[in-house]
Amino acid sequence: MGLEEVVNLTITTVSQGPSRASFGRPLIMAYHNVVPGMIVQYNSLAEMTDAGFLVTDPAYRAASAVFSQNPRPTAVYIGKRTHAYTQTLEFYPLNTTVGFHYTFEGVDSAGGVTAFDYTVQSGDTIALICTALAALIDPMANGTATAASTKVTWASTAGKLANFRKLPRIQDMKVKDVTADPGIASDLSAIELLDDLSWYAIGFDHASKAVIEAVATWVESRRKIALVNVVDSEASDNSITNDVLSDLKAGAYMRTETLFSQTEVLSYSALAWEGVMLPKDPGSATWSFKTLRGITADTLTGSQKSVILSKRGNTYTTVGGLNVTQWGQDPDGGYTDIVIGTDWLYARIQEAVFGAFAANDKIPYTDSGVDTIRNVVMGVLKRGILSGFLAADPAPVVQAPKVADIDPAERANRNLPDVEFSATLAGAIHTVEINGRLSV
């Protein structure tokens, strides 16, 4: 006699729930011709070199900034920029003090390093200094340097990027990236059609003011964020109101976070910032006071830093002996951790409710069925408390109507209206005011 005659057992394998939006992996947009895919996942730098990327390629350098952090994401996605940029940089020497050294370095697209050092001579004007600097820079590969009366302009070969690093102080030489946007929004849209769930935060091999503002417009209508480096010295000048930070602030953008970089024009500090923050539970940690491995902190005057922060940019400087980011703020005045936590809450509630529909033959239109939905939402809110995004006190509340009070038309359409929840953000403390009193 078989056991089936006594124990009639059926085991049903439950299918996988709905695809979940990922918040822990960045998308790095880079111009390259290494692999044909518009979006490719890499779990390590070794995988990138195996695929054909060189260690000097911007895509590799950008990914290296992510993978160098601790903690770090388990993978990055390289998104292909199909529109080649023509990197165009302007350098404005300001210091005419005899004996002053304009000392910095250029790194060409093949990784070759050239040291520049020009000493201001007696009788030098800004125009003469520009001519001398252009003559030093012009021999760099894959680009040309030209002098004008107030500036030196570097224009790269299409699709090639040069880096200039260890730059003089802003008060001695200003920098401006005037590269035109070659069409970043169309590339992002093409990738979005292929894969919209595997990545969350966008980074770039290069982003000028024009590119940043195009990205800000694109990402604002999506539940994603973009982190970009700003190298334009104008961002630190309070008298200038049409720089990229001022434009983003005026537009009250909430999904494009900026990190100022003064030490080099091809900085990947914003990607390093993504690298150290994305592995954390969304909304569980402030983006301020974070140290970025492999990134040189800027040396800014108090006024320069204050202006950048007042324009709602972010900085990476030395505070109390530690290199840290400040403040993790968005152009609209909010904070990055709140944006990410809110996006996480939105996605997880949506996924959990749909998962309940998929896991049950049906959820009846009864008070018990309504409670099922309410409990699903509450379950996600409780996870938000455990992660540190939401406060436990006051406790979250989820309200849903009684079936008897719902419009019969809604019931006939099988739609449950007026489910509402309230919860309190845990927030974060960034500054403290302490008053003390000593007596004898």
CA atoms within 13 A on the CB side of 162: 30
Could you tell me if 203 and 227 are in contact, meaning their C-beta atoms sit under 8 angstroms apart? yes
- Binning pLDDT at 50, 70 and 90, where does residue 21 land? confident
Mean pLDDT across the chain: 95
What SS3 class is residue 413? coil
In tens, the pLDDT along 282-329 reads 999 999 999 999 999 999 999 999 999 999 999 999 999 999 999 999
Could you tell me if 288 and 326 are in contact, meaning their C-beta atoms sit under 8 angstroms apart? yes
Does residue 26 come out as left (phi exceeding 0), alpha (psi in the -120 to 50 range) or beta?
A: beta
pLDDT at 120 over 50: yes
Sole residue written with tokens 């111009």: 31
In tens, the pLDDT along 337-362 reads 999 999 999 999 999 999 999 999 99
Distance of alpha carbon 294 from alpha carbon 346, whole angstroms: 34
What are the phi and psi torsion angles at 204 (to 5°)? -140, 150
Q: Mention every residue, 6+ apart, whose C-beta is less than 8 A from residue 380.
A: 345, 348, 349, 352
Residues in the chain: 440
Q: Given the DSSP bridges, would you call strands 163-165 and 173-177 parallel, antiparallel or unpaired?
A: unpaired
Distance of alpha carbon 380 from alpha carbon 354, whole angstroms: 13
In tens, the pLDDT along 124-183 reads 999 999 999 999 999 999 999 999 999 999 999 999 999 999 999 999 999 999 999 999
What percent of the chain is modeled with pLDDT above 90? 95
| Token digits of residue 260 | 């100022």
In tens, the pLDDT along 49-89 reads 999 999 999 999 999 999 999 999 999 999 999 999 999 99
Q: Mention every residue, 6+ apart, whose C-beta is less than 8 A from residue 167.
A: 104, 173, 175, 262, 263, 264, 265
pLDDT at 2 over 70: no
